[in-house]
Structure 1
Amino acid sequence: MQRLAWPDGRSSMTAIIRTHSWRLTPLGAPENWPPALKTAVDIALQSRQPAFVCWGKALTTLYNDAAIAELGTRHPAALGRPYAEIWADRWDDFAGVVDAVLAGEPQHVVMQRSRPSGGEPLTWHTFSWLPLRDDKGQIAGFLCQATESNLSLGDEQLRMVVDSASDAISLFDLTTRKYIYLNPACSALTGFTRDEIIKMPVDEVIARIHPDDLDQPGVAPGAPFPPASQIEYRWQTKSGEYRWLSVRRQTVPDAQGNPVAVVSINRDITASKQAEEALRDSEERLALAMESGEMGAWEWDVVNNKAVWNPKLFELFGLPKESEAGYDAFFKIVHPDDYQALEDSLRAVLADGTHWKAEFRVIHTGGIIRWLVVRGKLERTLDGKPSIMFGVNYDITEQKRAEDELRASQTRLALAMQSAQMGHWEWDIAGDKALRSPEIYEMLGEPPIVGLDAQDTFMRHVHPDDVAIVSETVGEVLKTGRDWKAEFRIIRTDGEERWLAGLGRLVRDYNGRPITMFGVNYDITEQKRAEAELKTSETRYRLLHENLRDGFVETDMEGRFIACNDIYCDMVGYSREELYGLTYQELTPERWHAAEQIIVDQEILVRGYSSVYEKEYRRKDGAIINVEIRAVLTRDDNGTPAAMWALVRDITERKEDDARLQALKEQLMHVGRVNELSQVSAGIAHELNQPLAAMHNYAATARRLIDRGDQNSINAAQHAIAKAGEQAARAGEIVRRMRDFVEKRDTNQKRDDINAIIQEAADLGLIGAKAEGIETHFCLASNLPAVIADRVQIEQVLVNLLHNAMDAMADVPKRVLTLSSWLNGTMVEVIVSDTGHGIPEPVLDRLFHPFVTTKANGMGIGLAISKSIMEAHGGDITAEPRQGGGTLFRLRLPAAPSL
């Protein structure tokens, strides 16, 4: 690493620089200085002329002994301070020079050097500013050196310097009231030649001053003004444009001290004034935004990592106001996809910057994503370390959506421009001469006019009926300056009428006079035809709207009616005028409000439409009707929900029909159960006969034993009576099952054990099976989940299948009936299989249709009822041939959720 080659100790500044606390400045320790800086400091310290070295963004300043006289009382505090702070009182003179040298342009300026104690000028110096570059070739500072010139006021060299100055310098004779000297910059600033200004009367010079600026003292040439004054005003140049001037004036006295002339240094500050005005506007908008609470403001103590947020910022971040503000809380809600980039941008500002600007997303509670902008300003300590950062955040979600829509629109526009036939034109307004591209002449159906005479009038091709409209729109453009847009007809050479669209933009001269308009034309004939067809379609739509079979209704987002057809009015019993003063909630019984609001929030607002749902309306006469609704959301051009419309169907009669149908189905099921019992009546009679006969025998035995009278006989009689009671209970159980099976009642589905249902159905359905020589097997899986079922209805299905199986095996040698249960995924399956004749294939496909049967005397309704019952339970029933002969019926029921 290069070390500083400090000059010998004879230089006082060498010693001062050696002992200065550089670690507290942006330059840091001298041993870490870049070679270019060290070399520049060496050169400055060894120079006998005043020399300054300024380095880094802050332009930290070092200087030699000769520069102390230039600094005066600024020394020694100037060492290590920013250049702009040292010369704050003369920065207007230096700012432009410094900007130029940092842009890579060496600067040379002649200045008068005064004695440190004041008095007469000592010498004239030429100050040279030279750019200094770092190791990467980037400009990192400058070296300023002074060279004694020994010029006097009348020297030709000084005249050359004044003539080459960028500011406009003039000398005004107070006696003749004429300008006697003007440097070339005066012509560049005003637009007038030197001779024109010298010959210009003072009254004209004053007349070109902006009226609002004339009340300042010393504005007019030759008017009294404070010594060495500086004023700002607007002056009209030769082009008619007002420019802002910063004018510094100094009187020139004669030998007696009387003022005889005025020296003026004029600098154009129009750009800075415009920037100030823009800044004021920006600050006013910022103040209004902050006052109206549209921005979230914050301040962050970087050193202690403490932050303060205003209430709006908590809202933007989607956090409760009682939350803790700070760096960690902020980054917790940043979208994961934006986290790293946002953190990197902040770290970059903390490392080597002052302004922070970024766009990012935050995630609110509930998963809502919003786009925000952050703007921050970092303040640093004197040694350049981050201290306090403050700034604002504001929501740009809608802007982002608009940008997405704009990109999509631009893509569509690009595609349209590629596919569209557009013609270009330019119109000379004063001469009414239009230059048109060949594409436009193709639209006109005539050959293009080419060559130097390729000019046309603007209105020549416009349809006579549209001339007035086009003229009116063009006149509005010439008056307001807005872009031109019009649609009009043309008459082609072949007589065909076509529709064109025109887009144009106005161009004005420097005085604001319209001179030219240029733009494009494109054919919209097909579009106009489509619009005409659309109008016809809309007429048809209105006719359809009024003649719909269903009611049509439209409401705003608060539920107020805004449109409906006659069907809807008839349905609810209100007129249109009455409905327009109501909401759909007022027509809906209160018990439906909560459920319907869920449909609006979770279906209509989320996906744009609802599933078909049912609810009730209360008609004007108080009657309740059942309706079926399908609702759709409509949005405005910004994508905001604007209204809801729906098709409404009165299903009151259908609901009544469904209720009657359900009653008929239940009656049919009851008939089916009675029919099942009638088919096994002989077996039931036999089953009942056994306990009844046993009861008779036990009763007779007990009577005989009681007649004997001894104690043993009485004890035996008691036992016989108890046995008779058991047989009576057995007969009663058989009768109870029969009564429950045939009882007509409402459906009652609840959690139940499928194996218990199978056993109870077998007890009833297999009565007489042994007498028929049927061998029965049970293969029931253990630990099966419960099912949600109506026990009697499922038993009815199983009893029907058991009777069918017994009938199918009536005349076969092998008679085996098997009942199985098992879990298949989420469904509980019950299988009834037999070894009977089986079902013919043509019948198998229609087996569950009503009135289809393989029995000679069968009704054909048992299996149809069974299928209806299974589907009502959310399951199904199927039949298939059994391997080895016979039929296998498979019942499937959903397993109930675990408790």
Structure 2
Amino acid sequence: MSNPLSDLWRLENTDFQDSDSLQSILRSILLSVPDAMIVIDDAGIIMAFSRAAEALFGYKSEDVVGTNIKCLMTQSDQAHHDQYIRNYLTTGERQIIGIGRIVEARLANGDSIPVELKIGEANIGDRKLFTGFIRDITEKQANVHRIGELQAELGNFSRLSAVGTMASAMAHELNQPLTAVANYLEAARDLLDEPSENDLAMVQEAVSAAAEQSIRAGQIVRRLRDYVSRGELDLRPAPLKGVIDDAAAIAKVGIEGPLARVILRMEDPDVIVMADRLQLRQVFANLIRNAIEALSGTETPQIWIYTQSSGEEVTIEVKDNGPGLSEELLHSPFDAFQTTKASGMGLGLSICQTIIEAHGSTIAVSSEPGAGASFTFTLRVATNVAG
């Protein structure tokens, strides 16, 4: 039985009368073309299979030359390929040729991968041949997905950062109900010094008014929390290292000048945790960014992130070598509106606490003056994760 590839070499060509020269040129192309290259005839039979195609699909050239191209297709494309060729040969209407598209390719091991397929055609004598150039875009699609996630998280982080610009407006809005509460309660206290029957009625009115204003202040805080929170958790298995790496990149956005070195020391770099990936990134981004800003005056600024797995949990510590927290802030670091930043609103740690508690854990902080700050929390390790 003749080899279809040898038949291709022997085809007449007006530009190359020497068949040996033609064979040498075509063989060189098949060996050197960077993308996978496959030549088929008008019956879909593979006539040439480049070295890059061998590397991509996992087949040797001799294994597939002479077989139908459908062996490299997924089941959904197999059912229609022959009909596509017949339609083109009958009508001349191009569906893919010269256009290109994204399809699924089936490898020798049975796996499917996304590929970019571009097809050209050539007439050699009375035969019509089709040349396909195939490029694996698995990594490209993964990068697009990763960029999309980072952009979404960057937008989420930017929303949090933008809260700082709302400080004056929010302070004004909160100042009104809180001042009213204080005034009403002070008036009630004064009336209770020597209360009369009429005074008691006024005290009741003042206390009621104070309660209404405190509810209003609470509504303002809840609206702000809704602004920076994504709502309910979407708990899924997430690679902890990937979350931390992304958060470290996000935390550095917009910061000018030298940045602290972020050192990741994981007992198990492959540990998978159950988490809302975006919200967990927000926690790490907040903690890392806070540390970077706190280390701005430190000679050798460093941030360490330690993880240690123990059964069903992984313990995480984010530590820096900065000046540490003040006694006042260390007393209740997670209370809202506590901050040492001139442009901050003190919501970052409060939001971190909310997110960590929603994950079923708690976050603790320790600090000594001049010895940096350390934040510690745990996450649940994902089990039964398919490899």
Compute the TM-score of the two structures, normalised by the length of structure 1. 0.20
The structure that is helix-richer by fraction is 2
Q: Which has the larger radius of gyration?
A: 1
TM-score (norm 2): 0.42
**Which one scores higher on RCO, CA 8 angstroms, separation ≥ 6?**
2
